Amino acid sequence: MEATGRPGAGELAAGDNVQGVAGRRRVVSHPVFGEGEILDSRGRGSELLVRFQSGLRLWLAAGRVRRISQLDDSLLEDAAPAIRAIDRIQARRMVEAFRLGIVPHQDVETFTFGRDAQVKTVVQALAKLESGQGDVFIVEGEYGTGKTHLLEFLHHRALASGVVASMVQLDPVEVTPDRPKRVYRELVHNLRFIRDGRECGFRDLMTAALELDIADHVFFGPYLRKLRRLEPGNMQAEMFWQLAEGESTKEFALERRSPYRVRGAQRMPALYDFSTAADCYCYLISGLSYISRRLGHKGLVLLLDEAETVTGPGDVMRLTKSVNFMDGLVGTARNDAELKRLNPRMIHNQVRPVPYIYRDSFLLVVFATTPAPYDYAYLRLANRVDHRIALEPLGDKAMVDAFANLVAVYLRAYPGFAIAESEQRQVLQAAARHGADGVRAFLKFCVSALDVARWRQVPARPA
């Protein structure tokens, strides 16, 4: 319902029907007392009894409060239940994320629109992992189409399902696939799972693994044997934790005069810095998935964002090593029997070669990438992966749903703000043109347009 003919751009006119004010909830906003609900009226609507969120009840002249329009309330009615339930602080947090074109991690399931088929696919993949079968997927789409958002959705759903998950952001400088130790270190740093209502990480998982029989694991076996003999919080225990997490080993094992030197560290298996050690790190990742399964967490979900980083390492050798690591991850996720022994078709390090898979793998790997149909590495990865999820720009209905929920969140964040239906249509039409550039551009434009509309309503200060 368009808010035309309203006195004072949202003020209540004398004679307004109280039942019709602000739709079902009859909500108004006051510049001093904030948001409140109309309880009664008198003098043909010239005065209103308002109960504010603070508990204060006041009779006020109708012209002193601003209605939160019927359209605003209907948006809240049509929005997802989780949107209707959020408070002002949560709404502000979401709006600030929307300004950057992203959705907060904790709200990703609530704010997912137009991706029903893709969501169904990844949820089915998660269900297969829970039954013991790993897999590998590619999520591909142009910049801004929501690849990271879908990964965040899967990450959130995996944690809620009791699965161990880690999301790794690849980049062409610091975390490159031709240097697998860096990918492993990021995986360990970001590894999360939920236990007894508490968020836990790598050290919690490995502490629980102290009770398991994995002495035959080339790397975790010796580390856990050493940690069993050390008191928690001991300085030496901290050093061994850092070794297992992929931190530098030199000052711990080699520098005899270093204050950080740890007795026996030189006998621990090294986590190699060199780029041909893909077998070592796939072996470690499969070990983590096995441990997760044995501890009742069903398996490990590894999400690799910006996987197009593999396509531009800069020289043939780096490209070969990147592709080999990606091939290793694909085979590990599929629990390929050939990778449970030394396999001549894969690159193995020559210091301490190991199989790519420890015992059995319970791993779901998802790569997110922009398509590069003329790039060798992209084609190699795409041809190795059976399941591809293509993300297209949002359809009209999804865009309208996203916009309606975004406006509902914005109104919750700024309760004194009201926007007419006609102006909302104008914003949506303009935002739809930006939607062709992706979801990120759409969100950023919508919030900017709503900011401009809100600033127009701020009364000018007297000179």
Query: According to the model, what pLDDT value does residue 248 have?
Result: 66
CATH number of 1-68: 2.30.30.140
Give CA–CA dist 433/451, Å, rounded: 18
**Nearest of 302, 303, 323 to residue 311 by alpha carbon:** 323
CA distance 418 to 71: 9
Exposure string over 200-214, b if 16+ CB within 10 A, otherwise e: bebeebbebbeeeeb
Residues of the chain by 3-state class (helix, strand, coil), percent to 5 = 45, 15, 40
Q: Which residues contact 44 (CB under 8 A, 6 or more apart)?
A: 14, 15
216: closest CA among 225, 205, 227? 225
What pLDDT is recorded for position 53? 73
Instruction: Measure the CA–CA gap between 46 and 42, rounded to whole angstroms.
Output: 6
In this prediction, residue 131 carries a pLDDT of 93
CATH superfamily, with its number, for domain 115-207+272-390 = P-loop containing nucleotide triphosphate hydrolases (3.40.50.300)
Specify the domain boundaries for CATH 3.40.50.300 within the chain.
Answer: 115-207+272-390
The Cα 11–Cα 63 span in angstroms is 5
The pTM of this model reads 0.76
308-346 in b/e form (b: 16+ CB < 10 A) is: bbbbebeeeebbbbbbbbbbbbbbbbbbeeebbeebeeb
**CATH code 2.30.30.140 region(s) in the chain:** 1-68
Q: Per residue of the chain (463 residues), what is the pLDDT tens digit?
A: 333 333 333 344 444 444 333 334 467 767 667 667 888 888 877 888 888 877 788 888 877 776 643 334 444 445 556 666 778 888 999 999 999 888 888 788 888 888 889 999 999 999 999 999 999 999 998 887 889 889 999 999 999 899 999 999 998 888 988 899 999 999 999 999 999 888 999 999 999 999 999 999 999 999 898 888 877 767 777 878 888 898 865 555 545 555 555 555 556 788 888 878 999 999 999 999 999 999 999 999 999 998 877 655 457 888 888 889 999 999 999 999 999 999 888 989 888 899 999 999 999 999 999 888 778 878 888 888 989 999 887 777 888 888 888 998 999 899 888 888 888 888 888 887 766 667 888 899 999 999 999 998 866 555 5
Residues 156, 163 contacting (CB under 8 angstroms):
no
